[in-house]
């Protein structure tokens, strides 16, 4: 995914420049996190696209089973139906090939969420990667990351930016629709029919409807879907809320004066989920741990002043002056 435009829109506070090579620790840390997140998001988005053609993981509706790492992944019921194996053996295969892998993946996923929150959303999810790109394109097009927010007073929209926004929304919607179809049907057949203009009626209907729905999502409801409509994100939030010692964006109330004098509400401006990072733990259940707010907060601080926002683990070394939500 391209570098953030929205983060670049947060101007350092007057007199808040840094000497090259002597950047404050929060800026160095968030810059490192930003680069790493760019790598993980881009890599996972590419994996999302190439997994079906490489048979790394997909469900083939015509074959009636999954493909995993290049080989068919079945529960092994066919020999049992043919009378070649006993019922006990069939049950054992069901447990080994079905229940145990699913429980292992779900258990690991929930543990990561319990400890670090919606880490999958902010660092891997191919949908959220598009959300952030569309936010940045919309920032360029109209000076605000969403259609319902007022543009920043110091920035104006761009006609060229609006063109790129429209192409981006439509392009990502089509790419996502095609990718989803390849998870259900033979990728070679889908790509071949698409390139030759010989899509079947059902394939064309699926691509048309999916592209329209995804375009509306990316243009109008991407944040709402991530916060309230995504089941994967919802269960991550539930797991995170169950852990009072989970990673969270902490707000040091001793440094609240820095927020009062911040003219841009920088941390809120750059949040992809449109959250209020200073609002306390209960209001951060859908935080994706992207650290954009931390970087924006650090950027507007004058030299020598610690930013009020920082990573912390609730219950570990937290002082009463920090928001515990």
Residue 120 has pLDDT above 70, yes or no: yes
Same domain flag for 64 and 200 = no
Please give the pLDDT value at position 153.
Answer: 59
Question: Residues 303, 40: contact at Cβ < 8 Å?
Answer: no
The stretch 261-269 carries a mean pLDDT of 81
Residue 282 has pLDDT above 90, yes or no: no
In the structure encoding, which two tokens stand for residue 157, read together? 């929209």
Interstrand relation of 71-73 and 309-313 (parallel, antiparallel or unpaired): unpaired
Please give the pLDDT value at position 2.
Answer: 43
Same domain flag for 45 and 128 = yes
Same domain flag for 129 and 212 = yes
Among 9-23, 145-159, 278-292, the range with the most confident prediction by mean pLDDT is 278-292
Residue 301: which CATH number?
Answer: 3.30.70
Residue 9 has pLDDT above 90, yes or no: no
Mean pLDDT of all residues in the chain?
84
Per-residue confidence at 6, pLDDT binned at 50, 70, 90? Answer: very low
| b/e map 212-225, b = 16+ CB within 10 Å | eebbebbbeebbeb
The stretch 49-57 carries a mean pLDDT of 95
Please give the pLDDT value at position 154.
Answer: 62
Please give the pLDDT value at position 108.
Answer: 96
Which of these three, 113, 133, 149, is where a domain ends?
A: 113
pLDDT in tens, 226-248: 999 999 999 999 999 999 889 88
Same domain flag for 250 and 227 = no
Task: Please report which helix (H) or strand (E) contains residue 23, including its range.
Answer: none
Please give the pLDDT value at position 89.
Answer: 86
Residue scoring higher pLDDT (322 or 298): 298
Same domain flag for 28 and 144 = yes
Count structural domains, the chain: 3
Question: Residue 130 domain-assigned?
Answer: yes
Q: Which domain holds residue 63?
A: 58-113
pTM confidence score: 0.82
Interstrand relation of 65-68 and 309-313 (parallel, antiparallel or unpaired): unpaired
In the structure encoding, which two tokens stand for residue 315, read together? 């219950």
């Amino acid at each position: 995914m391209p570098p953030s435009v929205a983060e670049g829109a947060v101007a350092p506070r007057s007199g808040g420049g840094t000497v090259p090579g002597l950047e404050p620790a929060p800026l160095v840390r968030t810059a490192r996190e930003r680069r790493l997140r760019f790598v993980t998001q881009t890599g996972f988005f590419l994996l999302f696209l190439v997994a079906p053609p490489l048979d790394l993981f997909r469900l083939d509706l015509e074959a009636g089973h999954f493909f995993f790492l290049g080989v068919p992944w079945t529960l092994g019921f066919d020999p049992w139906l043919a009378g070649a194996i006993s019922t006990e053996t069939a049950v054992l295969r069901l447990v080994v090939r079905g229940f145990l892998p699913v429980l292992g993946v779900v258990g690991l996923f929930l543990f990561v969420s319990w400890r670090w929150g919606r880490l999958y959303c902010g660092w891997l999810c191919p949908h959220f990667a598009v959300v952030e790109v569309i936010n940045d394109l919309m920032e360029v097009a109209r000076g605000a990351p969403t259609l319902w927010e007022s543009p920043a007073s110091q920035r104006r929209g761009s006609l060229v930016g609006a063109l790129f926004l429209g192409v981006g929304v439509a392009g990502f919607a089509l790419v996502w629709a095609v990718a989803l179809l390849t998870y259900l049907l033979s990728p070679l057949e889908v790509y071949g029919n698409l390139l030759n203009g010989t899509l079947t009626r059902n394939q064309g209907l699926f691509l048309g409807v999916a592209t329209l729905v995804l375009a509306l999502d990316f243009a109008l409801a991407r944040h709402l879907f991530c916060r309230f409509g995504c089941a994967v994100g919802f269960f991550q939030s539930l797991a995170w809320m169950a852990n009072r010692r989970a990673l969270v964006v902490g707000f040091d109330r001793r440094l609240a004066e820095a927020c009062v004098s911040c003219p841009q509400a920088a941390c809120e401006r750059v949040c992809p989920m449109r959250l209020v990072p200073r609002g306390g733990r209960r209001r951060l259940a859908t935080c994706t741990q992207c650290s954009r707010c931390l970087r924006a907060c650090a950027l507007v601080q004058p030299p020598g002043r610690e930013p009020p926002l920082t990573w912390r683990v609730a219950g570990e070394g937290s002082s009463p002056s920090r928001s515990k939500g």
